[in-house]
Each structure stands twice: as C-alpha cells, then as structure tokens.
Amino acid sequence: MSERLQPGDVAPAFTLPDADGNEISLSDHKGRKVIVYFYPAALTPGCTKQACDFTDNLDVLADAGYDVIGISPDSPEKLAKFRDKESLKVKLLADPEKKVTESYAAYGEKKNYGKTYMGVIRSTIVVDEQGKVERALYNVRATGHVAKIIKDLGI
C-alpha cells in the first residue's frame, strides 16, 4: 500500500480508459487544476450521490479552472451505464486492476459493520497546474463532499 499523498507531492501519472474506452491521461490536463476522486462502485447510492453532486457543480468548478475525473475499479461498460443512467457529465475512468487507485493511496483497509476488509477508500486529490498535489482528502463522505471542496477551495 502506498503512503498517503501530501500537498507538494507529485501526483502519480496515469492513463486509464474512460466509459467509451478512450485513453485519458492526467497529463492531458496539464495547465489546468484537476480534482481526481476515487469511489468504490458505480451505480451504488453513495457513489451516485457523489457523481451527481460533481455533475451538478461541474460548471462552477470548470469556471474556476478545475477539471473533474472520477476513478473506480468498474469496467468501462459499467461506467457507460452509470453515466447514461444518471446523466453524468464527469469524466469517469476505469481502474479494474486498482493500480492507479493504489498509487494514490485510495485503496486499503476499511471497516464496515465491525468487519475489516480491503477496498477503495473514498478519496479526493486536488492536483495543481504543474501536476503537484494541492490537497489530499481521504475517507471523505459522499454526501456534502462537493460543497465542502468548493468552500475549501474558495470557489
């Protein structure tokens, strides 16, 4: 398991397929700030709430210079179904082998109802225009998280 990212760290580079199978890289966004968020599974209540919140606030974030990328271990096909069912405008990327999720320290031990298991840790990493970590938020809540990010970033 990777160490949690800290402000000032270089954000790990990645290239992953989106919901349509197109390869998307972090470097495609050089010169813009990027909010990279990791979520456990498409088409689940919490993840749907979070993705819809990002979609609802996409214009506000884009106007402030931020692109938004959501990453989960789902297949591109499941992401396409998720995007279409919920009318999502957020760029969703597939990381079925969890290599990128692990490199961002967004995969690890979780506890739920007294059971401990390995899974995706709901996390949000804000990357600046130079590809450095500006903020690293781990174990975030799906509900209210986007509003908190907007407030914390002063948007």
Burial of 125 (0-12, 13-18, 19+ CB in 10 A): buried
Catalytic option among 35, 36, 47, 126: 47
Q: Locate tokens 């199978």: which residue?
A: 21
Known catalytic membership, residue 47: yes
Task: Name the token pair of 93.
Answer: 């990327």
Q: List residues with catalytic annotation.
A: 47
